[in-house]
Chain A
Amino acid sequence: MNSSVITFPGSNCDRDMDVALKKFGFKNKMVWHDDNELPKSDLVVLPGGFSYGDYLRCGSMASKSKIMQSVINFAKGGGKVMGICNGFQILVESGLLPGVLLRNKYLEFICKNVHVKINNKKNFFFKDFNKDTLKFHIAHNEGSYFCSNEQLKEIRDNNQIALFYSDADGNIDEKNNPNGSVENIAGILNKEMNILGMMPHPERMIDPALSGEDGSIFFKNLINNLK
């Protein structure tokens, strides 16, 4: 399975993602934002970080970079695309996913482990997942998911919510909402279910000695579903 990780100026989780993808069997290539063409890929990943210093709005400049036109065409043709953290912000700014990510409700940069509950397993990212809640890491300043009421209705009706912030038992409530996201939304899919954006970092949970194993489960499942 071939994957590509795009590096923007200011990306800082690109190498972690590279390590994670390779550990679970992907042949990964790093792609520079100023390139025009994507290499042959089964999966394209937009990594976390602070592309263009988060100037103007997080992800806004990166969404206009050269490679993004190829990523948009790839995604619109049904290619699998995943955006983590800043990658999620880039996906909403490029119009591939609905909504926007606002400044965290309590104006703090949040860096901690959280639990997320999988809401939709009818997509290749979470198909055959043997768990309902996952422990992932979040590290962001602008992660408060927001969309208009009409958009919210639409994403609910189409079952586009991928992940909710929850507790370890999967309870979704205000107490377990770290950043003020609408309805505890931590990750969403597009209508066609080939694009996933999420704030939590699965690539930071691939080593039990350092952090946890839930990222390992995620990547193993991902490559199995792609085969």
Chain B
Amino acid sequence: MVSLALIILSSIFFTGVILQTKSITSGRKGPGILQPVKDVIRLFKKGSIYSETTSVIFTIAPVISFASVIMACLVIPFGSWKGIISFDGDFIFFAYILALGKFFSIIAAMDTGSSFEGMGASREALYSMFVEPAFFILIGSFALLTGNTSFYNIFSTLHLGSSITYTLGGMASFVLIMIAMIENSRMPVDDPKTHLELTMIHEVMILDNSGFDLGLILSTGYIKFAMYGTLIANFYIGGLSFLWAFPVFLLVQLLFAVIVGLMESFMARFRMSHNPQFILVLSSVSFLIFLGVLLVLEKFV
């Protein structure tokens, strides 16, 4: 319960912080950190327009992908507080409930029949496919390290004690930040600000969505970001009391958002053909974490 409330709370300012960081680094004042939420509220008040070529899939897809993210949030714990649901193997549930939402947004894009959206859908599907091994090797390694298979048990029994586990924590944060960037279609894999359909991934898939549906898709993105931020924060707040855990959580979320903003300000997007290579690198970093875990557990023969 605590984690869901905190995820919703941080999703309110998360994207705003990214935008504000980008504005400041480019010498502008910025719209204020609440602007993304204001945009969503404005969109919620509007009606949607549907193209004649679309079917019921296009209509229900935004709701399903929103619901899938909320479902995924339910299993995320907050330090020593359980998520709303928690069971053995819930990280697999987490990954595939997100995949379900993504699947629907992909077929909804295909449903419009636009050549752009088909292109975006194929890119999104490809990158999601490459991200999957990185996520499972990462969480699997920590499951092995702690001997548990639910998020709550993994994080509550995870104690970063020796120097090698600090390294593992750092590498895990890196992989999770990058997975979050890819899953949310941010730089350096995708450019959320581009106005050019040919270079888009996620943006091009939602070109036909409008009004309430678009608002839902945008808020899905905000919550997804905050969700990954919470996952990262969990590495650091395992054994802390709430009084300590809460500020650490906020700090991790804020730092995450600022890092995203800085990354988007000071580098160019990757060439599309370099993206799969880059995403595969995440899998190899995850594999390093796995080897580190084996080292800690002295499982090397």
Asked if A and B are interacting partners, one says no
Seen from chain A, the residues whose Cβ lies within 8 Å of a Cβ on chain B are none
